[in-house]
Amino acid sequence: MNALLIIAFAVLYPIVHIANGWLFKFAEITPQISLIYLPAFLRLSNVLILGPRNGTVATLLGSLLLMRIFEDNSVTGLLNIGCSALGPVVALVVFKTYTHRNFELTSLKDLSVLAVIYAIANSVLHHLVWSVVDKSQLAEPVQVLWMVLGDIFGALIGAYAMKFAIEHYRLRQIAKDLGN
């Protein structure tokens, strides 16, 4: 069952990434940065739902599929995948370290806090890699802020949608079990 969920989440990631590019083309700052980036929440939800190990594997596989679709075989592309997979785990560790507790998947506050921590971690990780490996991806200094905002907006939209789904479809007990 875990393998099927990992594969399902991995396949969902490039689909949502491509759909996000079509739906929110107007909000694109650079090819790597959009002011609304829905896959940000998928990365985070992979870790929240599947656990850190399986969620990271799902994000890595989904990112590799995306890399394959766009025929990107660069070192920067692989490092971007690493940043994408590491960001949610960093957010989860930071959340647990500062709150001294596990997150509650049914708590909109916890999901929102995790979304903000994740957005900052993801943006900082990507920009550190770009600063060292591929400065051509650094268009202007303020783009780190744009990436944070895009990830926050995408992650918050996802968090609110998840909270709605949990409440609307009576998935509260399943969500509580996943959070612990």
DSSP assignment of 87-140 equals HHHHHHHHHHHHHSS---TT-HHHHHHHHHHHHHHHHHHHHHHHHHH-GGG---
Q: Which residues contact 35 (CB under 8 A, 6 or more apart)?
A: 24, 27, 28, 29, 146, 149, 150, 153
pTM > 0.95: no
pLDDT (tens digit per residue) in 5-28: 999 999 999 999 999 999 999 999
pLDDT (tens digit per residue) in 25-53: 999 988 778 999 999 999 999 999 899 99
How many residues can be counted in the chain? 180
**153 band by pLDDT with thresholds 50, 70 and 90:** very high
Q: What domains are defined for the chain?
A: 2-179 (1.10.1760.20)
